[in-house]
């Protein structure tokens, strides 16, 4: 396979007529939709090539063996679509070892030749993923895949640079793939951190002491969450003081997405990565926008069912329309896991009866919307922590806290050390501030009602 790939790459690079102009940088897209004409043109060209049975292109940037997981353009026979991105990745970047694989592509270490700075390069093959049965993708499947790739690039550009979100620094493409130059996050993900944090005696600094040198392969989307201790892999819960800053970073990242009209739709520990800062600290960043979608108006709702089962909200489990609040629910699931050391929803009946847990049982538990153990029954949790979890894991989305509001919850704001008195004082101050913004007539009406 390696010899075949090498020969194909060599043939491609030696292809006559490959001018320097073809390898020059094209104008990148910044916060705008990709041109529609590329879709139509690439679809027409693809149909023609497929009918003639011609071979498609192979990129020197495509990792060895990637055609097995994501499809080989040579086998599919479709000429790739164009996104009008830079075409000089091979000259601009020095590629390193693979870091992991996700649903949309392969991630590798990359060094920018111009300044020696390290990044991660996510490669998304234009041929799309092959089916589980090894069948070639249909034209319809290719159109869906092209839209997903285009959407992910557009959403990254729309979000721009952020302290809490993995930043897209540049984007490239060639005949076989799209290559996204993003922040290099080698500090582990949120769930691996939950497993490793308690190996240190200094728990207050646990979030800054992760040791993995490379990003592990992202955890596969599972039908059910990891069972609690005694039934499979488990982890020790974080202390509130340790968990609160991470939960706030998670909520702040999602609030930033929502402010730009982006619903992530795949919030889970594996998609929050720690990035090493120059001063040695670690910053938590939201990653992987392969399932994200855009909402353009306040009243718009989404209907596509997607995500990871264990983190689906009740409205998605019921196949009802939804909005940004699905991310808030998933954030509540993650927060519960960090604080309780086990998932709030699973096919517990099957687990207790010794049967293999299944998707249907999990979805029934989610639709009921009652975590087990119940939030109020979780031991050693403060009223503030329970208040936050109850506000996020609210089955009714109209009553569920937004991510922006949850990021300012008093327990999060006080880094998990707020007492009941702190909560009361915070509520009083907030109400006094709200009262001060009222007009004189309304303030007078409130005073008269009190008398």
Judge whether 258 and 156 are in contact, CB under 8 Å.
no
Tell me the CA distances in angstroms from 331 to 56, 80, 133, 218, one per residue in order. 42, 37, 34, 18
Judge whether 269 and 190 are in contact, CB under 8 Å.
yes
In Å, how far from its chain's centre is CA 422?
33
In Å, how far from its chain's centre is CA 101?
14
Which token pair is 139?
């034209």
140 is in an annotated binding site: no
Catalytic residue among 151, 174, 189, 266: 266
Q: How far apart are CA 422 and CA 163, in angstroms?
A: 29
Q: Is 266 part of the annotated catalytic residue set?
A: yes
Q: How far apart are CA 328 and CA 334, in angstroms?
A: 10
Question: SS3 for 260?
Answer: coil
- Tokens 């790459």 correspond to 9
Peptide bond into 373 cis (omega under 30): yes
- Tokens 């309780």 correspond to 340
Tell me the CA distances in angstroms from 286 to 61, 82, 190, 266, 274, one per residue in order. 25, 27, 10, 10, 9
CB within 8 A of 372, min separation 6: which ones? Answer: 344, 345, 346, 348, 365
Counting beta carbons within 10 angstroms of the beta carbon of residue 347, is it exposed (0 to 12), middle (13 to 18) or buried (19 or more)?
A: buried
Residues placed in the known binding site for ATP: 122
Residues placed in the known binding site: 122
- Residues with catalytic function: 266
């Amino acid at each position: 396979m390696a010899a075949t790939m090498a020969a194909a790459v060599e043939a491609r690079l030696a292809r006559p007529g490959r001018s320097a102009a073809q390898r020059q940088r094209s104008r990148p897209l910044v916060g705008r939709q990709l041109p529609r004409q590329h879709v139509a043109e690439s679809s027409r060209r693809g149909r023609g090539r497929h009918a003639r049975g011609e071979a498609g292109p192979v990129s020197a940037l495509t990792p060895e063996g990637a055609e097995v997981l994501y499809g080989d353009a040579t086998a599919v026979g479709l000429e790739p679509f164009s996104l009008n991105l830079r075409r000089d990745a091979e000259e601009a970047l020095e590629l390193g070892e693979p870091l992991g694989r996700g649903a949309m592509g392969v991630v590798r270490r990359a060094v920018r030749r111009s300044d020696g700075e390290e990044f991660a390069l996510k490669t998304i093959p234009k041929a799309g993923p092959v089916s589980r049965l090894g069948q070639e993708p249909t034209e319809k499947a290719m159109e869906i895949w092209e839209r997903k790739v285009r959407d992910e690039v557009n959403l990254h550009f729309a979000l721009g640079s952020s302290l809490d979100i993995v930043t897209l620094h540049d984007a490239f493409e060639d005949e076989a793939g799209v290559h996204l130059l993003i922040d290099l996050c080698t500090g582990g993900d949120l769930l691996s951190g939950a497993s490793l944090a308690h190996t240190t005696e200094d728990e207050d600094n646990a979030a800054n002491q992760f040791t993995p040198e490379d990003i592990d392969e992202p955890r596969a989307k599972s039908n059910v969450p990891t069972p609690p201790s005694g039934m499979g892999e488990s982890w020790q819960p974080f202390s509130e003081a340790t968990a609160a800053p991470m939960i706030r970073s998670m909520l702040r990242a999602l609030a930033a997405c929502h402010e730009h009209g982006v619903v992530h739709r795949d919030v889970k520990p594996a998609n929050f990565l720690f990035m090493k800062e120059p001063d040695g600290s670690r910053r938590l960043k939201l990653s992987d926008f392969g399932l994200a979608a855009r909402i353009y108006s306040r009243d718009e709702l989404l209907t596509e069912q997607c995500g990871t089962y264990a983190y689906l909200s009740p409205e998605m489990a019921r196949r009802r329309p939804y909005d940004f609040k699905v991310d808030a629910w998933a954030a509540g699931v993650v927060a519960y896991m960090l604080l309780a050391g086990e998932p709030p929803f699973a096919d517990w009946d099957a687990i207790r009866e010794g049967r293999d847990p299944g998707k249907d049982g999990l979805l029934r538990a989610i639709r009921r919307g009652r975590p087990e153990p119940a939030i109020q029954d979780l031991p050693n949790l403060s009223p503030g922590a329970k208040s936050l979890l109850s506000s996020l894991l609210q089955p009714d989305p109209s009553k569920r806290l937004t991510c922006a509001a949850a990021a300012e919850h008093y327990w999060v704001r006080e880094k998990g050390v707020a007492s009941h008195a702190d909560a009361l004082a915070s509520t009083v101050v907030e109400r006094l501030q709200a009262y001060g913004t009222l007009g004189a007539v309304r303030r007078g009406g409130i005073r008269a009602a009190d008398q």
